[in-house]
């Protein structure tokens, strides 16, 4: 029997449980949502014995732990709108520039750096001790933030930030990050258990709303293992942020090559999701595939995500793989566009990416609309002009040549005098 309030996938999982005492007493992390805050608060007053993990506001809801019997009993509660699992989420650059044809835009007389664009990163924290991380990073702490010693820990969030805004430079003193001057907001959801749930991210959304935090792009580099129809509470909350003008970017997940492996929040219709391609422009084996469980096409696009080399310090480089790498690159590309076209809505950005994308002639549920070409977008807006070689590069080069020439003269002088004697 299909119940009205309990999520069908969650109900199916609960009904498969046996009747052993251990199964009956087993508690699940659950999110109960309500029509409004008044109904939620009345429910809390009515059930004072329940221990609430989170009280959430963007979508009036609570997170708590309940056993199977309690969950089915609350199906009958008039104050409740919906019951679903508080699902667990999982964390899913030198060579990037060539594959994406970014060298053309980076070497343009008009600089493309993501300046004045703010990117929030929901992840396990960004370690600002590494030289790859810009010193302008801002950390936003939610109500459950626990201060920790960073040391030399390489977190997943550190890698994401290093892909977007890496401060190391090439031979022309151009920063290696996709959008090196974008402002990074560190939305840290890390905890001692290293476990992340819907409610952790929803709590961050509440902090964003409560404190009026402004951002252009939000990268959520986590996804669920269970496939989604994009109607779960986290997906709905992401779409609310999109409606407020924030571009939400997510990875397709690393559960390929099977079909229907797009989890939440990547399955949300208004979220821009990225799958991964290899350097040979084939879909990576691990990259999540569509369709969503309600038969929509996802991911939306694909970008490099396999064996990407990222410098973190003068001595340390990491080689990373995963669809979250592709999503971070995607967030950086969008920042480059927003730098010059800040008025564009999330939908307009999506359409620009779609129009510019190269069809890799692969399965649509693997590649989506293809691989975006940001240089084509800049050409359309007349934002690529051939760049004159940087002045500071010419100065340093001329100094090196002068020193070399001087050394040759000195050697010749001493040789001449030696043989003369």
Asked whether residue 323 is assigned to any structural domain, the reply reads yes
Tens-place pLDDT, residues 59-109: 999 999 999 999 999 999 999 999 999 999 998 833 444 445 555 555 554
pLDDT on residue 405: 47
> Are both 327 and 251 inside the same structural domain?
yes
* CATH number where 56 lies: 3.30.70.80
More confident residue, 99 or 203: 203
pLDDT of residue 288: 97
What proportion of the chain, given as a percentage, has pLDDT over 70? 83
| Structural domain contains residue 390 | no
Q: Using 50, 70 and 90 to split pLDDT, how confident is the model at 147? A: low
Predicted local confidence at residue 420, as pLDDT: 52
Residue 419 placed within a domain: no
pLDDT digits (tens, 9 = 90+) for 244-291: 999 999 999 999 999 999 999 999 999 999 999 998 999 999 999 999
Is residue 408, in this structure, part of any structural domain at all? no
Please indicate, yes or no, if residue 411 is contained in any of the structural domains: no
Angular region, 370: left φ>0, alpha ψ -120 to 50, beta rest: left
Residue 93 and residue 186 in one domain = yes
Residue 418 covered by a domain: no
What is d(CA 288, CA 290) in angstroms, rounded to the nearest whole number?
7
- Mean pLDDT, rounded, for 117-128: 95
pLDDT at residue 36 greater than cutoff 80 = yes
Measure the CA–CA gap between 126 and 176, rounded to whole angstroms. 18
pTM for this predicted structure? 0.86
Q: What integer pLDDT is reported at residue 86 of this predicted model?
A: 98
Name the least confident of 40-44, 107-111, 242-246, 329-333.
107-111
Average pLDDT over residues 173-182: 86
- Kindly state whether residues 74 and 190 are assigned to the same domain: no
Q: Is the model's pLDDT at 381 over the cut of 90?
A: no
User: Of the ranges 81-95, 135-149, 211-225, 384-398, which is most confident?
Assistant: 211-225
CATH code for position 126:
3.40.50.200
Residue 149: what pLDDT? 58
| Same domain as 72, residue 187 | no
User: 62 and 203: one domain?
Assistant: no
Cβ contact 216:338 at 8 Å? yes
Owning domain of residue 280: 89-380
Domain match, 94 and 75 both: no
Q: Does 27 share its domain with 173?
A: no
pLDDT at 293: 97
Indicate if 135 and 211 belong to the same structural domain: yes
User: Would the CA dihedral through 245, 347, 160, 375 be positive or negative?
Assistant: negative
Helix (H) or strand (E) holding 25: helix 21-25
Same domain, 65 and 205: no
Q: Residue 393: CA atoms inside 13 Å, Cβ hemisphere, count? A: 10
Say how far apart CA 382 and CA 405 lie, in whole Å.
Answer: 42
129 shares a domain with 51 = no
Q: What is the pLDDT of residue 140?
A: 84
Strands (E), 47-117: 52-56, 61-67, 80-85, 88-91
- What's the whole-number average pLDDT of the chain? 87
Counted domains in the chain = 2
Tokens representing 143 are: 């109500």
415 occurs within a structural domain: no
Whether residue 359 has pLDDT greater than 70: yes
Note whether 32 and 67 are same-domain residues. Answer: yes
The candidate with the shortest Cα–Cα distance to 122, out of 190, 180, 193, is 190
- Residue 157, token pair as written in the block: 């969030």
Which letter does DSSP use for residue 344 in this model?
Answer: -
pLDDT for 366? 98
Q: Is the pLDDT higher at 392 or at 183?
A: 183
- Segment 299-305 shows an average pLDDT of 97
Domain match, 33 and 99 both: no
């Amino acid at each position: 029997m299909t119940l009205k309030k309990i999520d069908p996938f969650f109900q199916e999982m609960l009904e498969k449980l046996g009747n052993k005492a251990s199964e009956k007493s087993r508690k699940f992390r659950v999110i109960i949502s309500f029509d409004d805050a008044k109904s939620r608060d009345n429910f809390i007053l009515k059930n004072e014995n329940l221990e609430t993990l989170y009280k959430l506001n963007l979508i009036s809801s609570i997170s708590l732990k309940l056993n199977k019997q309690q969950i089915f009993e609350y199906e009958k509660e008039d104050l409740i709108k919906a019951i679903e699992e508080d699902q667990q989420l999982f964390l899913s650059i030198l060579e990037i520039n060539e594959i994406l044809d970014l060298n053309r835009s980076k070497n343009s007389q008009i600089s493309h750096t993501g300046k004045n664009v703010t990117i929030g990163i929901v992840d396990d924290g960004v370690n600002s001790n590494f030289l790859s991380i810009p010193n302008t990073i801002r950390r936003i702490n939610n109500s459950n933030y626990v201060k920790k010693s960073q040391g030399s820990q390489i977190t997943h969030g550190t890698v994401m930030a290093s892909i977007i805004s890496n401060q190391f430079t090439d031979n022309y003193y151009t920063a290696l990050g996709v959008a090196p001057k974008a402002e990074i907001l560190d939305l840290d959801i890390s905890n001692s258990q290293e476990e992340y749930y819907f409610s952790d991210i929803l709590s961050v959304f509440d902090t964003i709303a409560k404190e009026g935090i402004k951002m252009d792009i939000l990268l959520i580099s986590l996804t669920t293992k269970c496939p989604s129809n994009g109607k779960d509470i986290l997906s709905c909350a992401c779409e609310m942020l999109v409606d407020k003008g924030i571009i939400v970017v997510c990875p397709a997940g690393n559960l390929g090559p099977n079909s229907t492996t797009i989890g939440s929040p990547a399955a949300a219709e208004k979220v821009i999701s990225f799958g991964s391609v290899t350097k040979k422009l084939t879909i990576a084996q691990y990259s999540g595939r569509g369709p969503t469980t309600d038969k929509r096409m996802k991911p939306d696009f694909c970008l490099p995500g396999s064996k990407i080399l990222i410098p973190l310090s003068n001595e340390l480089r990491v080689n990373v793989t995963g669809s979250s790498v592709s999503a971070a690159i995607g967030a950086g590309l969008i920042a480059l566009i927003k730098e010059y076209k800040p008025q564009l809505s999330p939908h307009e950005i999506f359409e620009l990416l779609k129009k510019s994308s190269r069809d890799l002639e692969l399965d649509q549920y693997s590649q989506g609309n293809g691989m975006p070409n940001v240089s084509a977008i800049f050409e359309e807006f007349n934002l690529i002009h051939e760049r004159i070689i940087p002045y500071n590069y010419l100065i340093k080069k001329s100094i090196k040549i002068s020193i070399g020439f001087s050394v040759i003269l000195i050697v010749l002088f001493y040789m001449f005098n030696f043989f003369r004697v």
